[in-house]
């Protein structure tokens, strides 16, 4: 695989909705996209990026696995070029009553939300520090700020991810690396959510569901911010969502 002269954006957790929308937004700016997910088809996203006239490398990688994350980041940096922006967009939203939440479920969700974020953030930061430049963006959720009934595992993982992002921003910001955390405080338009929470989804009405492409614009704007006015955290919600 040859190196590219395009700037590189790495999207870890390039799912069919928000992750893909973020990838397409950077592709429209001429970035070479490296998109990963643990499993599932990346063919549709690859074709979408190709249609935008950009280029893409699609890889399956488990962000919870230290060896795989190290291999991923080293592969991109050695074979393609320097990562200018990395987006951590791994989910992990599950709903169980507290007494029905097994240790296995809690640990798995924590690994997806928190441990994986740490591994990706650490490995990417290690490369960016040598250049004293770069952007690392984390996707949060309502659970990053408040725990809801039935979401003890997800809230714990997302709270931990937010704390990680805060610590990274304070440590890496003075060294030229912009770390930001995007709280998605609402339901994102996707088929999985519509099936998982049908009544709530249907109740939101017109413009009450977060559009992935609208959210993706926030990620691009964060990456473009001048360093004299960096934003650490943005919370995005539909107009009808209560504060």
Residue-number span of the structural domain to which 63 is assigned: 8-236
Let me know if residue 1 belongs to a domain: no
Average pLDDT, the chain: 91
Task: Evaluate if residue 241 carries a pLDDT over 70.
Answer: yes
Q: Is residue 66 part of a domain?
A: yes
Tell me: pLDDT of 1 over 60.
no
| Number of domains into which the chain is organized | 1
- Is the pLDDT score of 25 beyond 60? yes
Q: Does any domain span residue 2?
A: no
The rounded Cα 42 to chain-centroid distance in angstroms is 16
Residue 214 belongs to a domain? yes
Q: What confidence tier does 146 reach under pLDDT thresholds 50, 70, 90?
A: confident
How far apart (Å, rounded) are the C-alpha atoms in residues 90 and 63? 8
Q: What is the pLDDT of residue 2?
A: 61
Residue 206 lies in a domain: yes
Q: Who's near 187: CB < 8 A, 6+ residues apart?
A: 193, 197, 200, 201, 204, 209, 210
- 218 found inside a domain: yes
Residue 205 lies in a domain: yes
DSSP 188: B
Structure tokens at 176: 């030229």
Look up the CATH number of the domain holding residue 50: 3.40.50.720
Model pLDDT for residues 73-114, shown as the tens digit of each residue: 999 999 999 999 999 999 877 777 788 878 998 899 899 999
Domain annotation covers residue 148: yes
């Amino acid at each position: 695989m040859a190196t590219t002269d395009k700037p590189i954006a790495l999207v870890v957790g390039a799912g069919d909705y928000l992750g893909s929308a973020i990838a397409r937004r950077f592709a429209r700016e001429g970035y070479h996209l490296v998109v990963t997910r643990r499993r599932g088809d990346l063919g549709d996203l690859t074709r979408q990026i190709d249609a935008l006239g950009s280029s893409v490398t699609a890889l399956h990688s488990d962000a919870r696995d230290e060896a795989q994350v190290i291999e991923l980041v080293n592969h991109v940096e050695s074979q393609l070029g320097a990562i200018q922006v990395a987006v951590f967009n791994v989910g992990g939203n599950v709903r169980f009553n507290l007494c029905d939440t097994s240790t296995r479920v809690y640990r798995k969700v924590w690994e997806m939300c928190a441990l994986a974020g740490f591994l990706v953030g650490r490995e990417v930061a290690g490369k960016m520090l040598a250049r004293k430049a770069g952007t690392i963006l984390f996707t949060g959720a309502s659970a990053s700020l408040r725990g809801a009934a039935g979401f003890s595992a997800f809230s714990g993982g997302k709270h931990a991810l937010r704390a990680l992002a805060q610590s990274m921003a304070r440590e890496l910001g003075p060294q030229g690396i912009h770390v930001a955390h995007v709280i998605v405080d609402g339901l994102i338009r996707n088929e999985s959510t519509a099936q998982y929470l049908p009544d709530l989804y249907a109740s939101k009405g017109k413009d009450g569901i977060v559009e992935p492409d609208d959210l993706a614009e926030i990620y691009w704007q964060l990456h473009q911010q001048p360093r004299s006015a960096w934003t650490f955290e943005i919370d995005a919600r539909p107009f009808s969502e209560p504060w």
